[in-house]
Amino acid sequence: MISEILVLARVDADNASAEDIDLTPLLKTLQKDAQLSAPEQVVQLTTANDLQLKGWPTMIERAVDNLLRNAQRFNPMGEPIELQAQHQGGRILISVRDHGPGVEAEHLSQLGEPFYRAPGQTAQGHGLGLAIARRAAERHGGNLILANHPDGGFIASIELPLIPGVATPVG
């Protein structure tokens, strides 16, 4: 837990310059790492072409890793975890979907707050993974979007501008 708190603090304090990032190899590495940490869980990766942006690769890596770990906690055996990245209106959307129970709608807005855990949750965790993902997205000028998937399960997405802090119209 202490290391997660330190990561959360580092996201806010990082003053390094943004750099060019090719997301495809970064996401492939995260997919492989997720498979190694939970071999019984299948992670399917689908990416668009030319997923390039400017940002902080360590922050994005940590954020997506936390989304994958969260999905692994709730995803039932035999169902894939879906990791997708695509262009969306001048931004890049990275999504992780599990096929677990989802979250009651009234708790969705509180997820991503440090130390918040939805009531009745039995999976391990400290309520910091989604907070780290949210802070990393916000540091890039983006958002963390959390929702129940219409076909079941939970979907967590990080929406990132191509250049940090530059708002681009969505749609």
> How high is the pLDDT of residue 63?
95
pLDDT-derived band at 84 (thresholds 50, 70, 90) equals very high
- Residue 1 sits at the vertex; the CA angle it makes with 58 and 81, to the nearest 5 degrees, is 60
Q: How far is the CA of 47 from the CAs of 50, 90, 118, 166, in angstroms?
A: 9, 16, 30, 23
**Beta strand 43-47 with 81-88: parallel, antiparallel or unpaired?**
parallel
Indicate whether 27 belongs to any domain.
yes
In a domain, 105, yes or no: yes
Residue 167 within any structural domain of the chain: no
Q: What is the pLDDT of residue 162?
A: 86
> pLDDT tens across 9-55, in order?
454 545 678 899 999 999 999 999 999 999 999 999 999 999 999 99
Amino acid code (one letter) for 105: A
pLDDT, tens only, 96-143:
999 988 877 776 665 655 554 554 555 555 557 788 899 899 999 999
User: Considering the chain, what percentage of its residues have pLDDT values greater than 90?
Assistant: 57
More confident residue, 15 or 151: 151
Query: For the segment 46-56, what is each residue's pLDDT rounded down to a tens digit?
Result: 999 999 999 99
The pLDDT of residue 101 is 87
Domain assignment present for 72:
yes
Tokens of 33: 């790492």
Confirm if 100 and 23 have CB atoms less than 8 A apart.
no
Residue 133 domain-assigned (yes or no): yes
CATH number for the domain spanning 64: value is 3.30.565.10
Cβ neighbours, 10 Å, residue 17 = 7
- Reference 66, options 120, 19, 4, 22; nearest CA is 4
pLDDT at residue 165, rounded to an integer: 67
Residue 92 token pair: 């890049």
CA 117 to chain centre: 16
Q: How many domains does the chain have?
A: 1
Q: Which amino acid is at 149?
A: H
Asked, for residue 47, whether it belongs to a domain, the answer is yes
- Whether residue 71 is contained in a domain is answered as yes
Domain coverage including residue 101: 2-161
Q: Phi, psi at residue 84, to the nearest 5°?
A: -130, 150
Examine residue 168 and state whether it is found in any structural domain, yes or no: no
Query: Which spans in 14-56 are helix H?
Result: 23-37
Is the pTM higher than 0.75? The answer reads yes
Q: What is d(CA 91, CA 123) in angstroms, rounded to the nearest whole number?
A: 32
